[in-house]
Amino acid sequence: MFDIETKNNNSMRNQRPRRKSSFSFPSNFFSKRFFVYCGVAIAVVLVVAYFLYQEYYSNYNYLKEDRSEYLVYTSQSFNNTKGFTCEVPYINIDSEDARNVNAAISNFVTEFFKENSNNILVYDSELNGEVLSVVLRMTSYSEDLSYPEVSFHTYNFNLSSRSLISDQELLSLFSVTEDEVSSKIEEGFREFYDDEVYKGYIVSQECDYECFLGWRGVDNYLDSVSYYVRRGKLIAFRPFTTYSAYGEEDYFTDKDFEFVVAKG
């Protein structure tokens, strides 16, 4: 038969097909890039959120009528006829309650200094969580009295609702009743009396506790009480007369008008 030259099949089998040259990413390349992009995006969001918080939320700008001012700021500052600096607050909350309070304060101040230009008015404010408290401290030099008369106005706002908190709502917030407030104030006055007797301002045989209250002008412990929140404590401002025939007016200080009735 025909003599046919055959190739070595083994050599053919041992030759592998050549692959086309191409570049490919590692299998985990896209997952790494995805996490990098996510990290950058999160960082950008956090930075933006931080500046929004600083400029908008931490300063309560979302509540304000005027974002360039504090939540409570001095709208008027002037010296009375004795040279004492008086300051009038403005509650910088964009709500109907705040506007009504600011109008009431403005009207009161006008009449207050019309009565006597020697009168004194200052204020304090404090923020405790969602409760903003403002207190006006007034000293009135009435022509009908031979001594100055001290009085207080307080305003407490719920920042969540931008509305005024009533006295009853504030007492409920601190879980105290009016009877408990009355007892705390009575306790404070009895301490005043006992201490004055001890220090010789009053002779107990001449003036007992009821006599002492009479000089203080106190018939009911809850009369003219105003509430204020300071450092988590509920304060009751209770004005009373500090001048009397016994001359113990030097005994009392501004702090003595403040009675701590509940601790948060």
Residue located via tokens 């104030």: 185
**Which of 165, 186, 220 is the C-terminal boundary of a domain?**
165
Residues 65 and 160 in one domain: yes
Do 188 and 223 lie in one domain? The reply is yes
Q: Is residue 261 part of a domain?
A: yes
Taking only the tens place, the pLDDT of each residue in 113-141 is 999 999 999 999 999 999 999 999 999 98
Q: Helix-strand-coil percent breakdown of the chain, rounded to 5? A: 40, 25, 40
Where does residue 220 fall: left (phi above 0), alpha (psi -120 to 50 degrees), or beta otherwise?
beta
* DSSP-derived 3-state class of residue 248: helix
196 lies in the same domain as 144: no
Boundary residue ending a domain (108, 138, 165) = 165
Name the stretches of the chain with pLDDT < 70: 1-41, 43-58
Q: Does 95 lie in the same domain as 155?
A: yes
Report the CATH number that the domain containing residue 122 is assigned in CATH: 3.30.565.40
Helix (H) or strand (E) holding 110: helix 96-115
Give domain status of residue 27, yes or no. Answer: no
DSSP string, 179-220: HHHHHHHHHHHHHHHHHHHHHTSS-TTTS-HHHHHHHHT-S-
Entry pTM: 0.78
Domain carrying residue 234: 166-264
| Domain finish residue from 125, 150, 165 | 165
In a 10 Å sphere around its CB, with 0-12 CB exposed, 13-18 middle and 19+ buried, how is residue 140 labelled?
A: middle
Domain-embedded: residue 84: yes
Is 129 found in the same domain as 190? no
What is residue 249's predicted lDDT score, i.e. its pLDDT? 84
Do 111 and 83 share a domain, yes or no?
yes
Pairing outcome for strands 233-237 and 131-140: unpaired
Clarify whether residues 118 and 177 are in a common domain.
no
The answer to the question of residue 112 being in a domain is: yes
Q: What is the pLDDT of residue 55?
A: 46
174 & 263 share domain: yes
The Cβ-side half-sphere exposure at 112, using a 13 Å CA radius, reads 24
In a domain, 26, yes or no: no
Q: Are residues 70 and 138 in the same domain?
A: yes
pLDDT in tens, 33-65: 655 666 666 755 555 444 444 444 457 999 999
Q: Is residue 18 part of a domain?
A: no
Q: What is the pLDDT of residue 22?
A: 57
- Domain match, 138 and 171 both: no
Q: How many separate domains does the chain show? A: 2
Instruction: Tell me: do 77 and 147 sit in the same domain.
Output: yes
